[in-house]
Chain A
Amino acid sequence: MTAPTRRRLGVGTALLAATALLAACGSGTPGQTADEDAEAGDREVVEFWHHTFTTPENEWYEQAVEDFNASQDEVFVNETVVPGDAWDEKMTAAQAAGTAPDVYPVPGRLNDGVRLGSYLALDDLLPAEAFEQVTDAAAEISQVDGTWYGYPLLLEPQRVLYWNKEIFTEAGLDPESPPTSWDELYEACEQIQPVLADGQFCIETFSDQDTLAWSTVAEQMHVAGHLPISEDWTTADATDPAYEELIEHYTTLYSEGYIPRQSLAAGNSAAPFGEEKVAMITQGSWGMSELVADYPEVVDHTGVAPTITSDGDQTESLTTVGNFKWVLDANSDNAEAAAAFIAYALAGDTDVLLPFFVDTQFTKAPAREDVAEAVNADPGAAEAPWSEVITEDVVPYTIGEPLYPWDVNVAMGLAIQQSMMGDVAPADALAEADATIEQIIEREDLPANRAELGD
């Protein structure tokens, strides 16, 4: 054998050895490391995916999995954290490949997933008493036609107003009286603008198409008294002149420079307020836990109030109420083991859930009565004045997220953005949204889907 041939053989052998070594270090189970394999042992493995949430939420998820795994020796939960912006594609790809997780959290409504057969019913997998403490509002978003397809974790208003009391004082405004109507908002911004530095703005409200899509649903309801599709989903109803007023409101905010011409952060982040780039921000109630965790220096001069409405009426259609519930994948091979995990983390001892609501600074409403009592009794609740605003001034006046497909929301978000940023007249933008919604009705046979949902 010649020297070069021996050398090639040597390199080849080394590569093979390295590959074998790497393979030996790996795991035999997809999504698991060798260490997790060893920890799981002979236990039944439940795959659990969840989104990346705020820091305290992520810590709670990790702790819940760790505690469950330590609490028994029959089921091992393998936790995978998926970044929010990668969730949809990762889940769709996993579902197509038949490797979807056994348990995962779902926001919004369940009706589409149930129609497609994506979830297992929980009624026979969890004891009946597990559902006894669930609040009515949480039950509504966790059931379809009376059957439980999700177990709720929380409810949270998707729009509240945060304002910087120091900037209000500097502008000569009452630091304890935030604006409640559009007109009051314009007046406040007129006074605030002169005291702002370059790069600071009066208010950051949702301005990108996707965020406008979900965040303005309650505003659409508030100004027009209906949503942009008929109740039976047979016709579009987006050309109501009241929607033109809503669009003109956003156009005013944009053209007067009250809001930045480009979003300063992701649509669900309160960072621009924490960085004091804006005097006010409309954001979900979760924004407060972000501020406490990441921007503690602004908390003492931050006010929290119900969101601004067209007419100042803060007792009707204030905001949609967001939620998260956990579901069982319909193709799960370990349904009973997965249900045991849900029973432990969400439907069991209140002590498991208490840290979630305390560590997120009382910004979310528990989905169970007994958990809500425990949270209210926590000494920390007294030091979180926003908690009362959210539970008493906002939650009672919320509406549920719409049942119709997401594309309908997007059509309205696009209409608002087209007029706000482009030269399209509100009526024309709404006519286009109306045509798009008609197309969605036809394409997805919405009347039949609506009929399947019942009343």
Chain B
Amino acid sequence: MARRRPADDHVVAANKKRYPDTVMAYVMIAPIVILLGIFVIYPALQATVLSFYNWSFYQESEFVGLKNFTDVLTDPKFRASILLGLKFVAITLPVQLVGAFLFASLATAVNRRFADVLKVSIYIPTIISGVITSVIFTIIYDYSGGILNALLAKLDLTTQAWLGDPRLALVAIAAPAVWLGMGLTCLIMIAGMLDIPASFYESADVEGANWWQKTVYITIPQLKNILLYLIITGFVASIQQFELPLIMTNGGPMSSTELPNLFIFNHFRGDPYVGYSIAAALLLFVVLGSVSALIFRVLNSEKLVD
């Protein structure tokens, strides 16, 4: 039997010192890894396999190779839905970020009681279901009985088919999307702003910097990682918007609100085989991953140094 050397004991002790909680860490992450395996990884692998088949619920599925993918990639309607999704992001995300930033700046500048009122009021839409929001805004936009057209009529302005005109419909569903997403974005920004050391602003005050200079040279650089997070999550949430166009317009008029997820969903519920919609979903996953990676690369996340 080999004799245990003092050096071995030293290594074990050092490892224990370096990784004191390794086992506990594995135990702690095990549940989420198992759940991810069951509900994300396995279904994703299964979906990948099914995307190569004409999957039928009643007959033997037929292997079709890459046909579903070529069908999707050569379908101008799929490409149009992706471009529409990017357009929707371009409409909603900047408004949401700038609006939330201004609101957060206001909330951190006023006294605590008023700040609490502001925070609660901006957060309320976040806890309202997207379905209910869709219904509320559909009523607001109603052509012959909606409050918006009633206001326009009072002002002697031409009433609009907010959800029936292809030039207006996407903007009309963007408004509730911004309204729903603003609260959480704003609260995260407030948290980030409160984390910036007050000494930075005190020094700037001493130097005579105005609000704009403090925002550009202190607040925005210090919020860089938070902004990166909000841009990525905002982009993904926005391009994947589903409930609002489903309930408010069902993708119309003229497919002007058929965002990528709704496009896939419409194929899922209408196609005789499910392979096309699975292939489209996987390709959307590739698009989202690529754009997210691009944003990471451009904004270059890094650890802040005080």
- 8 pairs of residues in contact across A and B, judged by CB atoms under 8 Å: A89-B265, A92-B274, A118-B58, A207-B164, A208-B250, A260-B161, A417-B252, A422-B166
Is A330 located at the chain interface by the 8 A CB criterion? yes
How many Å lie between the Cα of A417 and that of B250 in the bound state? 15
* Bound-state Cα–Cα, A238 to B197, Å: 68
B246-284 contacts to A (CB < 8 Å): 250, 252-255, 265, 268-270, 272, 274
C-alpha spacing A76/B272, complex, angstroms: 31
Q: Which of B71, B144, B145, B162 has the most CB of A within 10 A?
A: B144
B153 partner residues in chain A, CB cutoff 8 A: 198
A225 to chain B, nearest CB (A): 27
* Cβ contacts A111-131/B at 8 Å (1 or 0 each): 010011110000000000000
Contacts from B to A (Cβ < 8 Å)? 56-59, 71, 74-75, 143-145, 153, 161-166, 250, 252-255, 265, 268-270, 272, 274
Determine the chain A residues whose CB is within 8 A of the CB of B56 once the complex forms. 116-117
For residue B162, which residue of chain A has the nearest CB? A262
Contacts of A199 in B (CB 8 A): 144-145
Given contacts A262-B163, A417-B254, could you give 14 more A-B pairs where the C-beta distance is less than 8 Å?
A96-B274, A117-B59, A208-B252, A209-B252, A261-B161, A261-B164, A262-B143, A262-B164, A263-B164, A331-B57, A405-B272, A421-B164, A421-B165, A439-B75
Cβ of A59 < 8 Å from any Cβ of B? Answer: no
A229 interfacial by beta-carbon distance below 8 Å: no
Q: What's the nearest-Cβ distance from chain A to residue B259, in Å?
A: 15
CB of B77, distance to nearest CB on chain A (Å): 8
Q: Does A418 contact B (CB under 8 A)?
A: yes
> Closest Cβ of chain A: how far from B38's Cβ, in Å?
16
Instruction: Kindly state the separation between the CA atoms of A199 and B144 in the bound complex, as whole angstroms.
Output: 5
Q: B161 near A331 (CB under 8 angstroms)?
A: no
A181-208: which have CB < 8 Å to B?
A: 198-199, 207-208
Q: Which residues of B contact A115 (CB under 8 A)?
A: 272
| Inter-subunit contact A96/B71 (CB<8 Å) | no
Count how many pairs of residues, one from A and one from B, have CB atoms less than 8 Å apart in the complex.
82
| Contact flag A92-B268 (CB < 8 Å), given A331-B58, A443-B71 | yes
Q: Tell whether, in the assembled complex, residue B165 and residue A262 are in contact, meaning their CB atoms are under 8 Å apart.
A: yes
A240 at the interface (CB under 8 A from B): no
* A-B pairs with lowest CB-CB distance, top 8: A262-B164, A261-B161, A88-B269, A262-B161, A262-B143, A117-B58, A199-B144, A95-B57
CB-contact partner of B253 in A117, A198, A421, under 8 A: A421
Q: Within 8 Å of chain B (Cβ to Cβ): is A277?
A: yes
Name the CB-closest residue of A to B269. A88
Beta-carbon nearest neighbor of A198 in chain B: B153
Closest B residue by C-beta to A119: B58
Within 8 A of B (CB), among A435-453: 439, 443-444
Q: In the complex, A414→B252 CA distance in Å?
A: 9
- Pick the residue among B162, B250, B272 that contacts A112 (CB under 8 A): B272
Q: Separation in Å of the B118 CB from the closest CB of chain A?
A: 35
Partner of A116, one of B58, B164, B254, B270: B58
The distance in angstroms between the C-alpha atoms of A264 and B161, with both chains bound, is: 10
Contacts of B250 in A (CB 8 A): 208, 210
Can you name the residue of chain A whose Cβ is closest to the Cβ of B74? A439
For A88, give the chain B residue with the smallest CB separation: B269
Give min CB distance, B68 to chain A, whole Å. Answer: 10
Q: Smallest CB–CB gap between A115 and chain B, Å? A: 8
Proximity string of chain A (70-109) to chain B, C-beta cutoff 8 Å, 1 when within and 0 when not: 0000000000000000001100100110101000000000
A210 touches B269 (CB 8 A): no
Which residues does chain B contribute within 8 Å of A277, judged by CB atoms? 144
B164, B250, B254, B265 — most chain A CB neighbours (10 Å): B254
Residue of B nearest to A115 (CB): B272
Instruction: List, in ascending order, chain A residues with CB within 8 A of B272's CB.
Output: 112, 115-116, 405, 444
Q: Which residues of A contact B252 (CB under 8 A)?
A: 208-210, 417
**Is the beta-carbon distance between A418 and B143 smaller than 8 angstroms?**
no
Give A207 to B268 CA distance when docked, in angstroms: 24
Q: Which residues of B contact A405 (CB under 8 A)?
A: 272
Count chain A CB atoms within 10 A of each CB in B57, B153, B250 and give the residue with the most: B57
In the bound complex, what is the Cα–Cα distance between A117 and B58 (angstroms)? 6
Bitwise interface map of A from 379 to 415 toward B, beta carbon under 8 Å scored 1, else 0: 0000000000000000000000000011100000010
Chain B's closest residue to A277 (CB) is B144
- Distance A88 CA – B143 CA, assembled complex (angstroms): 28
B75 contacts which chain A residues (CB < 8 A)?
439
Contact B143 A260, beta carbon cutoff 8 Å: yes
Query: A198 CA to B59 CA in the complex, in Å?
Result: 56
Please, which residues of chain B bring their CB within 8 A of the CB of A96? 57, 274
